[in-house]
Structures are given as structure tokens and as C-alpha cells.
Amino acid sequence: MSLFDWFANREKSEPNTQQKQEREIADGLWSKCSACGVLAYTKDLQANHMVCSECNHHMLVGSSERIRQLIDDRTWKALDESIHPTDPLKFRDRKPYSDRLHDYQQKTGLIDAVKTGIGKLNNLDVALGVMDFRFMGGSMGSVVGEKLTRLIEQATKNSLPVIIVCASGGARMQEGMLSLMQMAKISGALQKHREAKLLYIPILTHPTTGGVTASFAMLGDIILAEPKATIGFAGRRVIEQTLREKLPENFQSAEYLLKHGFVDAIVSRPQLKKTLTQLIRLHQPVSPVFTDANAENGHHHVVS
């Protein structure tokens, strides 16, 4: 066999570097940053909360991953998992709404675009709602509104702080007015939560738009956002046509909103749990706890 034949046979028997790279990405071993294109070992990326170590790009993550990032192990108790979406308007675009729901449920493994529950965040009890953009763009339908409202009411009843991770394209058009009603319903529950002097923190992630921005995303006592998240109500083109003027390039970014006072702080995802812990401890009232022995002796020991 000639040297030429040996190299030719080797090239046929071994896949090229690009094919090998694509196979490893498909197998989930490696992940490619959608912003800078750098490849990262998936386990390392997950350890860094799905934030690119090269460019600090915050990749889209699902609701289950968000819960793992924020809630202590084995403390999560999901709420209202039996609530399923329906098709009251018998809506149809390119396909029936009922079929579209079924397709997304099969694709994502989710019932709808939000998960809610009670858990511990660094040993602090919190009520957490996490929207998932993978399910119909995180659009706010009746199930999203009902689950978030019940979560807030449960938190008010049990004197818990509420945290909602927002990620949404806005109201769900397939449910029409029923979707828009969720804005008022959630806002009403938040008002009662506020009257009880309890803490509410929305976290605005990429993207947070439409009716979600116009309601509970902007009603927080302290509003946090992730770096470079798109946050707004109407789209850039609609606003420019209405105002008849050119908007700044970074318009509707988290940084622009921070500069103009609509956001209180931009927090990188790896620092989010620590920041939330500090904010809750600072603002949430803690009830004194007395031991039986101290009570009998007339000594009151406060456990914080």
C-alpha cells in the first residue's frame, strides 16, 4: 500500500473535525454560544448557570433549569400541576389551537408556559413562578394567569415573598380577551400581597414583552433584570411608526431601562440566588421564635 493510499483510507474511515464537532453538539456533550460561537463543555456551562464564560451571553434556559438554579435541593413543592389549558374560543390559524397546545406539550414536556411552587432559597421560604419561553413563546394564557394568581394568594396567606421569573412574548392571542383578563387578575392578587406588606420581586429575562411587561413584570417592589435582556411592550417598528422618530440602538434593553429608572438592578445569573437571598433577608420581616425552655425561664431568644 502506498503512502497516498494509506492517507486516503484514513480520511474515509475517520470523520472530519466539523462532523465530529456537530455529532458531539448533537449528543449534548458540547454547547455552542449563540452570541460568540464559542464551544463550551455542557457540564461546565451548566455549572456557570448557562452563561458563556467568553462573552457573558445569558442563554435561554427552561423552567426546570431555573428552578434548579434558585431552589435548594429537595425543597421544591410544585403547585397546581393539574391545571390544563383548554380551547374555549375554538380558535384556528394555520392549525387548531387545541392541536398547537398538544404539539407544544409533546415537544417541551410542559403543561403550559409557567411552573409554580413553594421552595427554599438558601433556606428561606419563597413562592416562585417561572415562565418558560419554549412553550408558545411564554405567552400568557388563562393557565399562566390562574397559576400565578393562586401562587400569589398562597404566598399572601402564608406570609411568603413572591419571585416571578418573567420570559414572555405577551398575551396569548388564541385566547383573546380571556388572555388579557389575566393581567388584571394577577395585578389584583399582587395588590393584596402588597397590602399585607410582603415582598414581590420580578426577574425580567430575555425576552419580557407585551402584556406581561404591562402588568406583573413591572409591579415589583424591587425589579431585577438579566444583562442585555429585551424588555418592552410594543415592538420597535410599531413605536417608531407611531412616534415618527428613530429610537436608540439599545432601546428596550435591560441596560437602557436601568438608566431610565424602570429597572432597579441588572444581576448576572450566577449572582442571582445570592442577590435574592440578601434582598429577602433585608426586606422580609422575620417573626421571633422562642424555645420552650427559655419561655419557662422568662428569657426570650430570637432566632433569625
pLDDT band at residue 98 under the 50/70/90 scheme = very high
Query: How far, rounded to the nearest angstrom, does the alpha carbon of residue 172 sit from its chain's CA centroid?
Result: 17
Residue 271: partners with Cβ closer than 8 Å, 6 or more residues away: none
Decide: 252 and 231 in contact? Cβ < 8 Å: yes
Does pTM surpass 0.75? yes
- Determine which of 49-63, 64-78, 132-146, 188-202 has the lowest per-residue pLDDT on average: 49-63
pLDDT band at residue 173 under the 50/70/90 scheme = very high
Q: Quick check: 288 pLDDT over 50?
A: no
Strands 114-121 and 77-78, by their bridges, are antiparallel
**Sign for the pseudo-dihedral over CA of 106, 107, 109, 114:** negative
| Residue 160 per-residue DSSP state | -
Name the burial class of residue 181, with classes exposed (0-12), middle (13-18) and buried (19+) by CB atoms within 10 angstroms of its CB. middle
Decide: 210 and 242 in contact? Cβ < 8 Å: no
The one-letter amino acid at 60: L
Give domain 62-296's CATH architecture.
Alpha-Beta Complex (3.90)
pLDDT band at residue 22 under the 50/70/90 scheme = low
Tell which wins on pLDDT, 91 or 24: 91
